[in-house]
Amino acid sequence: MTKQSITVLQLYPKDMNIYGDHGNLLVIQRRLEWYGYEPTIIHYNVGDVFPENVDIIIGGGGQDSGQEIIHEDLIKIGPKLKALAENGVPMLMVCGLYQLFGNFFKTLGGKTMTGIGVLDIETHGTQERLIGNIVTTNEEFGEIIGYENHSGQTFLGENTQPFATVLKGAGNNSKDSHEGARYKNVIGTYLHGSILPKNPRLADFLIHTAVTKKYGDFSTDIIDDLLADLARDIASERPR
């Protein structure tokens, strides 16, 4: 029997991959394999042709310089990403691309970088770097454990829900207790670490959503996540 295939697109791996974002791709790829699906990975970089059919999209963080390099291209493919988001395609955007999936990023120097507006959020550059181990909680996924490192502070507009509530750490900003943003199946977050290895429920949400959307049902296989559980226990106890 030929395996059912799932196409995973990683946005800008060349310029936005600085905080272990490759780990998120690897986790989705392996778990798809372990569940019995055939993952097809597309590395989308500046200037590439945006593919017609995509089932999962992930994107990562970068240097400020990386954000500048990809900005124009992102604006160009923005309408396509927006249509896919409206259509319920699961996406995970971490740090830099989370910010640019919002309305705008205003740097400390007063320069404004427009986002693609998938998420109703705005981000302001600050002098303060929010950095360290972080634990958040979300009704659907339970405790989410990771590491944050950002100086941009993000605030939610009316049309976007926070992704999670901070238990330990800073999250979106130093004012409220929100972490990340959620619109339909699009999740934006500041957690790297990488986020998916230690949060397999979140990885499975992206996979499950994509598979059931495309094929109607989902694999009955079970993955042993003991190592992830043990790593979570230790990580949540470590100093900030």
Partner 1 sequence: MPHHFNSLVVILGKAVRNAARLRGGGSALPGLFVEKISPDFIKQTLGQLPHGVVVVSGTNGKTTTTKMVVALLEAHGLKVFTNRTGSNFTRGVAAALLGDIDMRGKLHADIAVLELDEAHAVNFVKTIPPRYSLLLNVMRDQLDRFGEIDATAKMLEKIAVATTDTVVLNREDRRVLAIKDTLSGQKVELFGLSDSLLPDFPSDDDMRNSAVIKTTRPNANVLLKKYSGNTATYDLGGKEFTTTLKLNGVYNVFNSAAAIALARAVLAGETKPDLILSTIAEVTPAFGRGEELEVGGQPLELVLVKNPSGFRLGLKSFSPAGYATMIAINDNYADGRDMSWLWDVDFESLSDEGVSEVAGIRAYDMALRLQYDEVTIGHIERDLPTALRQFIDNNTTSPKRIYCTYTAMLALRRELSKITKVEVIS
* 95 in active site: yes
For partner 1, the binding residues in 94-113 under the rule CB under 8 A are none
For partner 1, the binding residues in 146-175 under the rule CB under 8 A are 147, 149, 151
Which range, of 109-117, 161-169, 186-194, 213-221, touches partner 1 by CB under 8 A?
186-194
Q: How far is CA 59 from the centre of its chain?
A: 6
| 46 near partner 1, rule: CB under 8 A | no
Q: Structure tokens of 162?
A: 């926070």
* Separation CA 75–CA 172 (nearest Å): 23
* 22 in active site: no
- Distances 90 to 9, 85, 124, 229 between C-alpha atoms, Å: 11, 7, 26, 24
The nearest distance, CB 146 to partner 1, in angstroms, is 9
Cis previous bond, 65, omega within 30: no
In the chain, the amino acid numbered 203 is A
DSSP letter string, 29-71:
HHHHHHTT-EEEEEEE-TTPPPPS--SEEEE----HHHHHHHH
Contact 28, 159 (CB under 8 A): no
| 230 near partner 1, rule: CB under 8 A | yes
Task: Choose which of 4, 5, 23, 46 interacts with partner 1 (CB under 8 A).
Answer: 23
Which range, of 11-19, 75-83, 155-163, 211-219, touches partner 1 by CB under 8 A?
11-19
Contact residues for partner 1, defined by CB under 8 A? 13-14, 17-23, 26-27, 30, 43, 63-65, 129, 131-133, 147, 149, 151, 192-194, 197-198, 227-228, 230-231, 233-235, 238-240
